[in-house]
């Protein structure tokens, strides 16, 4: 059947509305994968920056103690770098939570729906193949043997029609729930991302910590090296 369709022969059962929705999902997934890639890159660059700020803070501290003539200048720079480092750890927690949630949405939830879509597409192909068989037999001569073959073909046709329709319905339902879930997750995560980043880059430590609490972000204990378990969830 796939080959007939490739060569432009054979007819194809089409649910235009559903196929449009599936195309939109595939496109959305690609776009969110891009966000995920960029958010992970941001995490890495930001993580490296915070590590460098920590090292700078230590170096400035050391030089403040050992340079009487520039004690103040090294001193306030040390303070600033250390404060940025502390707030940076908190923001990292928020970005990790964002990455982890988008990752779940894209690679678990959307992927799950797309698996059902693939099963649906296979069922559609099989159904159209049995439909084409039946139509061909129906157009041929009728004798005892062909009648029995038509009966078998009809049974197969109904079995695969049922399977196709069940899967079409599964896909429709999953798409509907996915859309709701997507809007809910993205609304929350985009708000968290925005509020955490705004608070951090406004130097508002209190608001940053409040955002973390508000969104129930769990911070990993300091000293744990890489953003890891959050992404694995």
Instruction: Give the interface with a copy of itself as residue ranges (CB under 8 A).
Output: 31, 34-35, 38-39, 41-42, 45-46, 48-49, 52-53, 55-56, 59-60, 62-63, 66, 69-70, 73-74, 76-77, 80, 84, 183, 186-187, 190-191, 193-194, 197-198, 200-203
Instruction: Considering the complex, state which of residue 130 and residue 193 has its C-beta at the smaller distance from a copy of itself.
Output: 193
* Tokens at 168, concatenated: 């079409």
Nearer to a copy of itself, 177 or 201 (CB): 201
Q: How many CA atoms lie within 13 A of 120 on its CB side?
A: 23
196/139 Cα distance (integer angstroms): 68
| Smallest separation, CB 84 to a copy of itself (Å) | 6
What count of other Cβ atoms lies within 10 Å of the Cβ of residue 81? Answer: 22
Q: Give the residue with the Cβ less far from a copy of itself, 94 or 134.
A: 94
49 vs 159, which CB is nearer to a copy of itself?
Answer: 49
Least distance in angstroms from the C-beta of 51 to a copy of itself: 8
Torsion of CA 110, 115, 118, 123, to 10 degrees: -130
Categorise residue 223: left if φ over 0, alpha if ψ from -120 to 50, beta otherwise: left
- Give the nearer residue to a copy of itself in terms of CB position, either 18 or 42: 42
Q: How far apart are CA 196 and CA 107, in angstroms?
A: 24
Nearest approach in angstroms of CB 126 to a copy of itself is 34
For 212, residues 6+ apart whose C-beta sits below 8 A from its C-beta are: 90, 93, 94, 196, 219
Nearer to a copy of itself, 158 or 194 (CB): 194
Task: Please check whether residue 72 is in contact with residue 163, taking contact to mean a CB–CB distance below 8 angstroms.
Answer: no
Smallest gap from Cβ 193 to a copy of itself, in A, equals 6
Residue 115: count of CB within 10 angstroms of its CB? 11
CB of 158 to a copy of itself, least distance (A): 39
**Min CB(139)–a copy of itself separation in Å:** 47
């Amino acid at each position: 059947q796939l080959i007939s369709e490739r060569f432009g022969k054979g007819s194809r059962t089409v649910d235009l509305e559903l196929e449009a929705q599936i195309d939109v999902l595939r496109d959305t997934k690609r776009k969110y994968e891009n966000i995920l890639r960029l958010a992970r890159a941001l995490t890495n660059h930001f993580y490296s920056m915070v590590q460098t700020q920590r090292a700078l803070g230590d170096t400035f501290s050391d030089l403040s103690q050992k340079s009487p003539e520039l004690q103040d200048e090294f001193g306030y720079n040390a303070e600033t770098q250390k404060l940025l480092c502390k707030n940076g750890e908190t923001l990292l927690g928020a970005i990790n939570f964002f990455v982890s949630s988008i990752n779940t949405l894209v690679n678990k939830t959307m992927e799950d729906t797309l698996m059902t879509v693939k099963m649906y597409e296979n069922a559609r192909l099989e159904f159209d193949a049995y439909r084409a068989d039946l139509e061909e037999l129906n157009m041929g001569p009728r004798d005892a043997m062909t009648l029995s073959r038509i009966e078998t073909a009809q049974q197969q046709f109904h079995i695969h029609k049922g399977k196709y329709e069940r899967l079409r319905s599964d896909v429709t339902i999953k798409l509907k729930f996915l859309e709701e879930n997507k809007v809910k997750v993205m609304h929350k995560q985009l708000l968290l991302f925005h509020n955490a980043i705004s608070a951090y880059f406004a130097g508002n430590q209190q608001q940053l910590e409040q955002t973390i609490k508000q969104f129930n972000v769990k911070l990993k204990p300091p000293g744990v090296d890489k953003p890891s378990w959050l992404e694995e969830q």
